[in-house]
Chains A and B, each alone.
Chain A
Amino acid sequence: MPQKKRSRGILATQKTPIILIAVSLLMISISTRSILSLPGAVASAVTGGIQYVFSSVGGFVKRTIFSISELADLRDQYNSLADKLKTYETLQRNFADMMSENARLKEQLGFAQNLTTIKASTQIIAKDPGNLYTSYVIDKGSAAGITKNMAVAAFQNGMQGLAGKILDARSKSSVVLPIFDQRFFVSARLSRTRNEGLVNGQGNPDDPLVMRYVSKLNAAEIQIGDMVVTSGLDSIYPSDLAIGRVKEIQLPEYSSSAIILLEPSLNFSRLEYLFVIQKEESPSSPDAATIAESPPRDEK
Protein backbone atom coordinates (compact mmCIF):
# COMPACT_ATOMS: atom_id res chain seq x y z
CA MET A 1 0.00 0.00 0.00
CA PRO A 2 2.68 2.59 0.87
CA GLN A 3 4.32 1.88 -2.53
CA LYS A 4 1.09 2.93 -4.20
CA LYS A 5 1.15 6.20 -2.29
CA ARG A 6 4.67 7.03 -3.47
CA SER A 7 3.78 6.52 -7.11
CA ARG A 8 1.07 9.23 -7.06
CA GLY A 9 1.83 12.29 -9.19
CA ILE A 10 2.78 15.71 -7.86
CA LEU A 11 -0.70 17.08 -8.60
CA ALA A 12 -2.28 14.49 -6.34
CA THR A 13 0.24 14.69 -3.47
CA GLN A 14 0.67 18.46 -3.43
CA LYS A 15 -2.93 19.39 -4.08
CA THR A 16 -3.37 21.89 -1.23
CA PRO A 17 -0.28 24.06 -1.90
CA ILE A 18 -1.00 24.18 -5.61
CA ILE A 19 -4.63 25.14 -5.04
CA LEU A 20 -3.66 27.85 -2.52
CA ILE A 21 -1.00 29.29 -4.85
CA ALA A 22 -3.59 29.39 -7.63
CA VAL A 23 -6.13 31.06 -5.32
CA SER A 24 -3.53 33.70 -4.30
CA LEU A 25 -2.69 34.50 -7.90
CA LEU A 26 -6.39 34.66 -8.79
CA MET A 27 -7.06 37.06 -5.90
CA ILE A 28 -4.16 39.29 -6.97
CA SER A 29 -5.46 39.26 -10.54
CA ILE A 30 -8.94 40.23 -9.41
CA SER A 31 -7.83 42.88 -6.93
CA THR A 32 -5.47 44.49 -9.43
CA ARG A 33 -8.05 44.05 -12.24
CA SER A 34 -5.32 42.67 -14.43
CA ILE A 35 -6.76 39.20 -15.05
CA LEU A 36 -7.55 39.89 -18.70
CA SER A 37 -4.04 40.99 -19.52
CA LEU A 38 -2.38 38.14 -17.58
CA PRO A 39 -1.42 35.82 -20.50
CA GLY A 40 0.11 38.73 -22.36
CA ALA A 41 1.85 39.93 -19.22
CA VAL A 42 3.41 36.49 -18.60
CA ALA A 43 4.70 36.34 -22.16
CA SER A 44 6.04 39.88 -22.08
CA ALA A 45 7.63 39.28 -18.67
CA VAL A 46 9.57 36.32 -20.04
CA THR A 47 10.67 38.09 -23.21
CA GLY A 48 11.29 41.32 -21.31
CA GLY A 49 13.48 39.46 -18.82
CA ILE A 50 15.60 37.99 -21.61
CA GLN A 51 15.86 41.41 -23.24
CA TYR A 52 16.86 42.96 -19.95
CA VAL A 53 19.68 40.46 -19.45
CA PHE A 54 20.99 41.03 -22.98
CA SER A 55 20.68 44.78 -22.65
CA SER A 56 22.49 44.76 -19.27
CA VAL A 57 25.40 42.74 -20.66
CA GLY A 58 25.63 44.99 -23.73
CA GLY A 59 25.39 48.12 -21.60
CA PHE A 60 28.15 46.92 -19.28
CA VAL A 61 30.55 46.26 -22.17
CA LYS A 62 29.67 49.58 -23.82
CA ARG A 63 30.13 51.56 -20.59
CA THR A 64 33.51 49.96 -19.96
CA ILE A 65 34.79 50.75 -23.45
CA PHE A 66 33.55 54.34 -23.54
CA SER A 67 34.53 55.26 -19.99
CA ILE A 68 37.96 56.51 -21.15
CA SER A 69 36.54 59.02 -23.61
CA GLU A 70 34.05 60.10 -20.95
CA LEU A 71 36.91 61.25 -18.74
CA ALA A 72 37.85 63.95 -21.26
CA ASP A 73 34.21 65.05 -21.46
CA LEU A 74 34.06 65.20 -17.68
CA ARG A 75 36.99 67.63 -17.58
CA ASP A 76 35.18 69.98 -19.99
CA GLN A 77 31.99 69.66 -17.99
CA TYR A 78 33.90 70.45 -14.80
CA ASN A 79 35.21 73.70 -16.27
CA SER A 80 31.77 74.80 -17.46
CA LEU A 81 30.24 73.86 -14.10
CA ALA A 82 32.83 75.93 -12.26
CA ASP A 83 31.75 78.93 -14.36
CA LYS A 84 28.11 78.20 -13.61
CA LEU A 85 28.85 77.96 -9.91
CA LYS A 86 30.15 81.52 -9.90
CA THR A 87 26.89 82.68 -11.46
CA TYR A 88 24.85 80.76 -8.88
CA GLU A 89 26.80 82.29 -6.02
CA THR A 90 25.75 85.72 -7.26
CA LEU A 91 22.17 84.54 -7.60
CA GLN A 92 22.16 83.14 -4.08
CA ARG A 93 23.18 86.50 -2.66
CA ASN A 94 20.15 88.06 -4.29
CA PHE A 95 17.85 85.26 -3.14
CA ALA A 96 17.32 86.44 0.44
CA ASP A 97 16.42 89.94 -0.73
CA MET A 98 13.97 88.56 -3.25
CA MET A 99 12.31 86.31 -0.63
CA SER A 100 11.54 89.20 1.72
CA GLU A 101 10.34 91.31 -1.19
CA ASN A 102 8.11 88.48 -2.35
CA ALA A 103 6.57 88.10 1.12
CA ARG A 104 5.74 91.81 1.23
CA LEU A 105 4.19 91.72 -2.22
CA LYS A 106 2.13 88.64 -1.37
CA GLU A 107 0.78 90.35 1.71
CA GLN A 108 -0.18 93.42 -0.27
CA LEU A 109 -1.92 91.45 -2.98
CA GLY A 110 -3.73 89.15 -0.57
CA PHE A 111 -2.22 85.98 -2.03
CA ALA A 112 -1.54 84.64 1.43
CA GLN A 113 -5.17 83.60 1.70
CA ASN A 114 -5.24 79.97 2.79
CA LEU A 115 -7.31 77.89 0.40
CA THR A 116 -7.22 74.74 2.44
CA THR A 117 -9.10 73.66 5.51
CA ILE A 118 -7.80 71.14 8.01
CA LYS A 119 -10.37 68.37 8.24
CA ALA A 120 -8.72 66.43 11.03
CA SER A 121 -5.55 66.41 13.08
CA THR A 122 -4.39 62.82 13.39
CA GLN A 123 -1.65 60.64 14.78
CA ILE A 124 0.09 57.75 13.04
CA ILE A 125 -0.83 54.57 14.93
CA ALA A 126 0.56 51.89 12.63
CA LYS A 127 2.54 51.30 9.50
CA ASP A 128 2.63 48.57 6.89
CA PRO A 129 3.55 45.17 8.40
CA GLY A 130 6.44 44.53 6.04
CA ASN A 131 9.17 46.43 4.29
CA LEU A 132 7.64 46.07 0.84
CA TYR A 133 4.68 48.40 0.89
CA THR A 134 4.53 51.80 2.47
CA SER A 135 1.36 52.99 4.11
CA TYR A 136 0.48 54.67 7.38
CA VAL A 137 -2.59 54.06 9.52
CA ILE A 138 -3.94 57.17 11.25
CA ASP A 139 -6.26 57.30 14.23
CA LYS A 140 -9.24 59.00 12.56
CA GLY A 141 -11.56 57.77 9.86
CA SER A 142 -14.88 58.39 8.16
CA ALA A 143 -16.48 59.18 11.54
CA ALA A 144 -14.30 62.33 11.60
CA GLY A 145 -15.37 63.26 8.08
CA ILE A 146 -12.35 61.77 6.31
CA THR A 147 -13.03 60.34 2.88
CA LYS A 148 -10.93 58.54 0.29
CA ASN A 149 -8.47 60.64 -1.74
CA MET A 150 -8.28 63.56 0.70
CA ALA A 151 -4.85 65.18 0.84
CA VAL A 152 -2.66 64.62 3.89
CA ALA A 153 -0.08 67.16 5.02
CA ALA A 154 2.40 67.51 7.85
CA PHE A 155 4.18 70.39 9.54
CA GLN A 156 7.91 70.04 9.92
CA ASN A 157 10.55 72.71 10.49
CA GLY A 158 7.90 75.42 10.21
CA MET A 159 6.85 74.26 6.76
CA GLN A 160 3.62 72.66 5.59
CA GLY A 161 4.48 69.79 3.26
CA LEU A 162 2.45 67.23 1.37
CA ALA A 163 2.66 63.83 3.07
CA GLY A 164 0.27 61.74 0.98
CA LYS A 165 -3.39 61.01 0.42
CA ILE A 166 -6.11 58.89 1.99
CA LEU A 167 -6.12 55.46 0.38
CA ASP A 168 -8.89 53.95 2.46
CA ALA A 169 -11.15 55.54 5.07
CA ARG A 170 -12.48 53.12 7.69
CA SER A 171 -14.81 54.25 10.47
CA LYS A 172 -12.18 54.88 13.19
CA SER A 173 -8.98 54.81 11.19
CA SER A 174 -7.67 55.56 7.71
CA VAL A 175 -4.87 54.28 5.52
CA VAL A 176 -2.54 56.94 4.10
CA LEU A 177 -0.56 56.38 0.91
CA PRO A 178 2.63 58.40 1.43
CA ILE A 179 4.09 60.63 -1.25
CA PHE A 180 7.15 58.37 -1.69
CA ASP A 181 5.03 55.36 -2.68
CA GLN A 182 5.46 54.44 -6.33
CA ARG A 183 1.66 54.42 -6.80
CA PHE A 184 1.44 58.06 -5.72
CA PHE A 185 1.11 60.78 -8.36
CA VAL A 186 0.57 64.50 -7.87
CA SER A 187 0.44 67.39 -10.29
CA ALA A 188 3.28 69.72 -9.31
CA ARG A 189 4.89 73.00 -10.23
CA LEU A 190 8.31 74.51 -9.76
CA SER A 191 7.82 77.37 -7.37
CA ARG A 192 10.30 79.72 -9.09
CA THR A 193 9.94 78.99 -12.79
CA ARG A 194 6.26 77.86 -12.62
CA ASN A 195 6.95 74.86 -14.88
CA GLU A 196 4.46 72.06 -14.35
CA GLY A 197 5.04 68.32 -14.16
CA LEU A 198 3.96 65.11 -12.51
CA VAL A 199 5.63 63.90 -9.32
CA ASN A 200 5.67 60.35 -8.08
CA GLY A 201 7.62 58.34 -5.54
CA GLN A 202 10.02 55.44 -5.91
CA GLY A 203 8.73 53.31 -3.05
CA ASN A 204 11.23 54.26 -0.38
CA PRO A 205 11.41 57.31 1.91
CA ASP A 206 15.18 57.51 1.39
CA ASP A 207 14.93 57.58 -2.41
CA PRO A 208 14.27 60.91 -4.17
CA LEU A 209 10.88 61.72 -5.67
CA VAL A 210 10.71 61.88 -9.45
CA MET A 211 9.21 64.79 -11.42
CA ARG A 212 8.45 64.04 -15.08
CA TYR A 213 6.96 65.77 -18.11
CA VAL A 214 8.94 68.98 -17.72
CA SER A 215 10.11 70.01 -21.17
CA LYS A 216 13.87 69.86 -21.76
CA LEU A 217 13.71 73.45 -23.05
CA ASN A 218 12.28 74.62 -19.73
CA ALA A 219 14.67 72.43 -17.74
CA ALA A 220 17.50 74.84 -18.56
CA GLU A 221 15.90 77.42 -16.23
CA ILE A 222 15.66 75.01 -13.33
CA GLN A 223 18.32 75.14 -10.64
CA ILE A 224 19.39 72.69 -7.99
CA GLY A 225 17.56 73.55 -4.78
CA ASP A 226 14.44 74.97 -6.47
CA MET A 227 11.26 74.29 -4.51
CA VAL A 228 8.53 72.11 -6.05
CA VAL A 229 4.98 72.61 -4.81
CA THR A 230 1.54 71.20 -5.63
CA SER A 231 -0.01 72.92 -8.63
CA GLY A 232 -3.60 72.58 -7.42
CA LEU A 233 -4.65 71.55 -10.92
CA ASP A 234 -6.06 68.21 -9.81
CA SER A 235 -9.16 67.78 -7.69
CA ILE A 236 -7.37 66.36 -4.64
CA TYR A 237 -4.48 68.55 -3.59
CA PRO A 238 -4.58 72.26 -2.75
CA SER A 239 -2.01 74.44 -4.44
CA ASP A 240 1.35 75.53 -3.02
CA LEU A 241 1.93 72.65 -0.61
CA ALA A 242 5.66 71.93 -0.47
CA ILE A 243 6.71 68.64 -2.06
CA GLY A 244 10.47 68.82 -2.26
CA ARG A 245 13.56 70.55 -3.60
CA VAL A 246 15.35 69.83 -6.87
CA LYS A 247 18.27 67.50 -6.21
CA GLU A 248 19.27 66.41 -9.69
CA ILE A 249 18.22 67.13 -13.27
CA GLN A 250 18.52 64.35 -15.83
CA LEU A 251 18.14 64.93 -19.56
CA PRO A 252 17.68 61.48 -21.15
CA GLU A 253 18.42 61.28 -24.87
CA TYR A 254 15.37 59.14 -25.59
CA SER A 255 12.85 61.65 -24.25
CA SER A 256 11.81 65.21 -24.95
CA SER A 257 11.20 65.87 -21.27
CA ALA A 258 13.58 66.07 -18.34
CA ILE A 259 13.58 63.85 -15.27
CA ILE A 260 13.95 65.88 -12.10
CA LEU A 261 14.86 64.17 -8.85
CA LEU A 262 13.52 65.84 -5.71
CA GLU A 263 14.57 65.71 -2.09
CA PRO A 264 11.28 65.41 -0.11
CA SER A 265 10.43 68.39 2.11
CA LEU A 266 9.38 66.09 4.94
CA ASN A 267 11.53 63.68 6.88
CA PHE A 268 9.27 60.64 6.90
CA SER A 269 11.23 58.78 9.55
CA ARG A 270 10.30 61.53 12.04
CA LEU A 271 6.68 61.83 11.03
CA GLU A 272 4.27 61.46 13.93
CA TYR A 273 1.27 63.71 13.36
CA LEU A 274 -0.59 64.26 10.10
CA PHE A 275 -3.28 66.70 9.00
CA VAL A 276 -6.02 65.62 6.65
CA ILE A 277 -6.91 68.59 4.51
CA GLN A 278 -9.70 69.27 2.10
CA LYS A 279 -9.27 71.34 -0.99
CA GLU A 280 -11.54 74.35 -0.90
CA GLU A 281 -12.26 76.63 -3.81
CA SER A 282 -11.81 80.33 -3.13
CA PRO A 283 -15.19 82.11 -3.22
CA SER A 284 -13.50 85.18 -4.69
CA SER A 285 -11.97 83.20 -7.52
CA PRO A 286 -13.24 84.34 -10.93
CA ASP A 287 -13.73 80.69 -11.93
CA ALA A 288 -15.74 79.81 -8.83
CA ALA A 289 -19.11 80.27 -10.52
CA THR A 290 -18.08 78.11 -13.45
CA ILE A 291 -16.78 75.41 -11.11
CA ALA A 292 -20.00 75.45 -9.10
CA GLU A 293 -22.10 74.91 -12.22
CA SER A 294 -20.01 72.09 -13.61
CA PRO A 295 -20.32 68.53 -12.14
CA PRO A 296 -17.57 67.52 -9.73
CA ARG A 297 -14.71 65.63 -11.42
CA ASP A 298 -14.73 62.91 -8.77
CA GLU A 299 -18.19 61.77 -9.82
CA LYS A 300 -16.91 60.43 -13.17
Chain B
Amino acid sequence: MIKAALSSTILSSAFLIIQTTWMKNGLVWGVIPDFCLLVILWVAYNNRNSQGVITGFFSGIVCDFLSSSPLGYFSFLYIIPAYAATFLRKVVTMDAFFIPVLFGFAGTVLKGLASIFLLLIYGPEYMSAYSLSDYRFWIEATLNGALAPLLFFGLSKIRRLLVTKKVTE
Protein backbone atom coordinates (compact mmCIF):
# COMPACT_ATOMS: atom_id res chain seq x y z
CA MET B 1 0.00 0.00 0.00
CA ILE B 2 2.84 2.39 0.85
CA LYS B 3 4.48 1.80 -2.52
CA ALA B 4 1.22 2.40 -4.41
CA ALA B 5 0.38 5.49 -2.35
CA LEU B 6 3.86 6.87 -2.93
CA SER B 7 3.80 6.28 -6.69
CA SER B 8 0.31 7.78 -7.03
CA THR B 9 1.42 10.86 -5.03
CA ILE B 10 4.49 11.23 -7.26
CA LEU B 11 2.35 10.89 -10.40
CA SER B 12 -0.25 13.42 -9.25
CA SER B 13 2.55 15.81 -8.21
CA ALA B 14 4.07 15.45 -11.68
CA PHE B 15 0.71 16.48 -13.13
CA LEU B 16 0.69 19.47 -10.78
CA ILE B 17 4.05 20.60 -12.14
CA ILE B 18 2.70 20.23 -15.69
CA GLN B 19 -0.34 22.31 -14.73
CA THR B 20 1.89 25.12 -13.41
CA THR B 21 4.35 25.19 -16.32
CA TRP B 22 3.22 23.79 -19.66
CA MET B 23 -0.41 24.63 -19.02
CA LYS B 24 0.15 27.90 -17.17
CA ASN B 25 -1.92 29.84 -19.70
CA GLY B 26 -4.82 27.40 -19.44
CA LEU B 27 -6.42 25.12 -21.95
CA VAL B 28 -9.77 26.82 -22.61
CA TRP B 29 -10.30 30.53 -21.82
CA GLY B 30 -7.38 30.51 -19.42
CA VAL B 31 -8.80 27.65 -17.34
CA ILE B 32 -6.41 24.90 -16.25
CA PRO B 33 -7.81 21.35 -16.00
CA ASP B 34 -7.06 19.56 -12.74
CA PHE B 35 -5.24 16.39 -13.78
CA CYS B 36 -4.06 15.92 -10.20
CA LEU B 37 -7.67 15.62 -9.03
CA LEU B 38 -8.40 13.06 -11.75
CA VAL B 39 -5.44 10.91 -10.67
CA ILE B 40 -6.62 11.09 -7.06
CA LEU B 41 -10.16 10.11 -8.06
CA TRP B 42 -8.93 7.15 -10.09
CA VAL B 43 -6.66 5.96 -7.27
CA ALA B 44 -9.46 6.40 -4.71
CA TYR B 45 -11.88 4.39 -6.83
CA ASN B 46 -9.49 1.56 -7.61
CA ASN B 47 -8.09 1.03 -4.13
CA ARG B 48 -9.60 -0.30 -0.99
CA ASN B 49 -9.12 1.39 2.38
CA SER B 50 -8.03 4.99 2.35
CA GLN B 51 -5.29 5.04 -0.24
CA GLY B 52 -7.07 7.65 -2.36
CA VAL B 53 -7.57 9.88 0.65
CA ILE B 54 -3.91 9.52 1.63
CA THR B 55 -2.84 10.34 -1.95
CA GLY B 56 -5.19 13.34 -1.90
CA PHE B 57 -3.71 14.56 1.35
CA PHE B 58 -0.08 14.38 0.25
CA SER B 59 -0.74 15.65 -3.28
CA GLY B 60 -2.60 18.55 -1.67
CA ILE B 61 0.43 19.35 0.46
CA VAL B 62 2.57 19.44 -2.71
CA CYS B 63 -0.04 21.67 -4.38
CA ASP B 64 0.00 24.01 -1.36
CA PHE B 65 3.75 24.40 -1.73
CA LEU B 66 3.38 25.22 -5.43
CA SER B 67 0.52 27.60 -4.82
CA SER B 68 0.15 30.76 -2.76
CA SER B 69 -2.65 29.08 -0.78
CA PRO B 70 -2.38 28.45 2.97
CA LEU B 71 -0.84 25.10 3.89
CA GLY B 72 -3.52 22.41 4.16
CA TYR B 73 -5.93 24.12 1.79
CA PHE B 74 -5.59 21.85 -1.22
CA SER B 75 -5.15 18.82 1.06
CA PHE B 76 -8.66 19.42 2.31
CA LEU B 77 -9.96 20.10 -1.20
CA TYR B 78 -8.56 16.82 -2.55
CA ILE B 79 -9.50 14.65 0.44
CA ILE B 80 -13.23 15.33 0.04
CA PRO B 81 -13.64 14.08 -3.59
CA ALA B 82 -11.26 11.20 -2.86
CA TYR B 83 -13.40 10.18 0.10
CA ALA B 84 -16.51 10.27 -2.08
CA ALA B 85 -14.81 8.21 -4.82
CA THR B 86 -13.80 5.59 -2.26
CA PHE B 87 -17.46 5.21 -1.31
CA LEU B 88 -18.59 5.10 -4.94
CA ARG B 89 -16.47 2.03 -5.73
CA LYS B 90 -19.05 0.00 -3.82
CA VAL B 91 -22.03 1.20 -5.86
CA VAL B 92 -20.70 2.18 -9.30
CA THR B 93 -18.98 -0.01 -11.87
CA MET B 94 -16.37 1.78 -13.94
CA ASP B 95 -16.84 1.89 -17.70
CA ALA B 96 -14.77 3.45 -20.47
CA PHE B 97 -16.58 6.78 -20.88
CA PHE B 98 -19.66 7.79 -18.86
CA ILE B 99 -18.47 7.01 -15.35
CA PRO B 100 -15.08 8.77 -15.85
CA VAL B 101 -16.91 11.85 -17.20
CA LEU B 102 -19.21 11.78 -14.17
CA PHE B 103 -16.24 11.36 -11.82
CA GLY B 104 -14.31 14.27 -13.34
CA PHE B 105 -17.30 16.60 -13.30
CA ALA B 106 -18.70 15.63 -9.89
CA GLY B 107 -15.21 15.59 -8.33
CA THR B 108 -14.66 19.19 -9.43
CA VAL B 109 -18.06 20.23 -8.06
CA LEU B 110 -17.20 18.59 -4.72
CA LYS B 111 -13.84 20.37 -4.73
CA GLY B 112 -15.67 23.66 -5.36
CA LEU B 113 -18.11 23.03 -2.53
CA ALA B 114 -15.22 22.17 -0.19
CA SER B 115 -13.53 25.48 -1.08
CA ILE B 116 -16.76 27.37 -0.30
CA PHE B 117 -16.95 25.56 3.03
CA LEU B 118 -13.41 26.72 3.88
CA LEU B 119 -14.25 30.27 2.79
CA LEU B 120 -17.25 30.32 5.13
CA ILE B 121 -15.12 29.14 8.04
CA TYR B 122 -11.93 31.14 7.56
CA GLY B 123 -13.15 34.21 5.69
CA PRO B 124 -12.11 35.88 2.44
CA GLU B 125 -8.98 37.50 3.89
CA TYR B 126 -7.37 34.05 4.10
CA MET B 127 -9.21 31.97 1.55
CA SER B 128 -10.11 31.97 -2.10
CA ALA B 129 -13.04 29.88 -3.21
CA TYR B 130 -14.76 28.84 -6.38
CA SER B 131 -17.86 30.78 -7.26
CA LEU B 132 -20.67 28.56 -8.49
CA SER B 133 -21.91 31.45 -10.64
CA ASP B 134 -18.50 31.85 -12.33
CA TYR B 135 -18.33 30.36 -15.81
CA ARG B 136 -14.67 29.42 -15.23
CA PHE B 137 -15.67 26.96 -12.54
CA TRP B 138 -18.05 25.17 -14.88
CA ILE B 139 -15.46 25.20 -17.66
CA GLU B 140 -13.01 23.51 -15.29
CA ALA B 141 -15.64 20.94 -14.30
CA THR B 142 -16.45 20.26 -17.97
CA LEU B 143 -12.76 20.04 -18.90
CA ASN B 144 -12.08 17.61 -16.07
CA GLY B 145 -15.07 15.54 -17.13
CA ALA B 146 -14.00 15.57 -20.78
CA LEU B 147 -10.39 14.63 -20.06
CA ALA B 148 -11.17 11.98 -17.44
CA PRO B 149 -11.88 9.06 -19.88
CA LEU B 150 -8.54 9.61 -21.62
CA LEU B 151 -6.57 9.93 -18.39
CA PHE B 152 -8.33 7.01 -16.72
CA PHE B 153 -7.50 4.88 -19.78
CA GLY B 154 -3.84 5.89 -19.48
CA LEU B 155 -3.82 5.20 -15.74
CA SER B 156 -5.30 1.74 -16.24
CA LYS B 157 -2.20 0.90 -18.28
CA ILE B 158 0.03 1.53 -15.27
CA ARG B 159 -2.45 0.01 -12.85
CA ARG B 160 0.09 -2.23 -11.11
CA LEU B 161 2.04 0.83 -9.96
CA LEU B 162 -0.96 2.61 -8.48
CA VAL B 163 -3.19 -0.12 -7.12
CA THR B 164 -2.36 -2.33 -4.16
CA LYS B 165 -2.10 -6.00 -5.10
CA LYS B 166 -4.83 -7.14 -2.76
CA VAL B 167 -7.50 -5.46 -4.86
CA THR B 168 -6.23 -6.32 -8.31
CA GLU B 169 -6.00 -10.00 -7.64
B-binding residues in A (CB < 8 A): 14, 16-17, 20-21, 23-32, 34, 38, 41-42, 45, 48-49, 124-135, 137, 167-168, 175, 177, 181-183, 203-205, 269
Contacts and interface: CB of A to CB of B under 8 A. Distances in A.
Interface size of B as a range: 35 or more
Interface of B: 16, 19-21, 24-26, 30-32, 34, 36, 49-50, 53-54, 56-57, 60, 63, 66-76, 79-80, 83, 86, 115, 118, 120-130, 136-137, 140
Contacts of A20: 50, 53-54, 56-57, 75, 79
Given A16-B53, A34-B122, A126-B24, A131 B31 contact: yes
A31 B72 contact: yes
Contact of B34 (A34, A130, A135): A130
Contact of B75 (A24, A38, A124, A135): A24
A137 B128 contact: no
A175 B69 CA distance: 12
Nearest to B22: A126
- Main secondary structure on chain A at its contact with chain B? mixed
Contacts of B122: 28-29, 32, 34, 41
25 contacts: A17-B83, A20-B50, A21-B80, A21-B83, A24-B60, A24-B73, A26-B72, A27-B72, A27-B75, A31-B70, A31-B71, A31-B72, A32-B70, A32-B122, A126-B20, A127-B24, A128-B66, A128-B68, A129-B32, A129-B66, A132-B115, A133-B128, A135-B67, A135-B68, A204-B136
Nearest to A28: B72
B23 to A, nearest CB: 9
Nearest to B50: A16
Contacts of A203: 128
A23 B70 contact: no
A125 B24 CA distance: 9
B37 to A, nearest CB: 9
A50 to B, nearest CB: 12
A23 B54 CA distance: 12
A132 B128 contact: yes
A32 B122 CA distance: 8
Contacts of B74: 130
Nearest to B62: A129
B118 to A, nearest CB: 7
A235 B123 CA distance: 27
A128 B60 contact: no
Contacts of B53: 16-17, 20
A60 to B, nearest CB: 15
A25 B72 contact: yes
Contact of A27 (B16, B20, B71, B86): B71
Contact of A28 (B25, B49, B57, B71): B71
Given A17-B53, A45-B121, A135-B67, A129 B20 contact: yes
B66 A28 contact: no
A135 to B, nearest CB: 4
A168 to B, nearest CB: 8
Contacts of B136: 131, 204
Contacts of B130: 131-132
A220 to B, nearest CB: 30
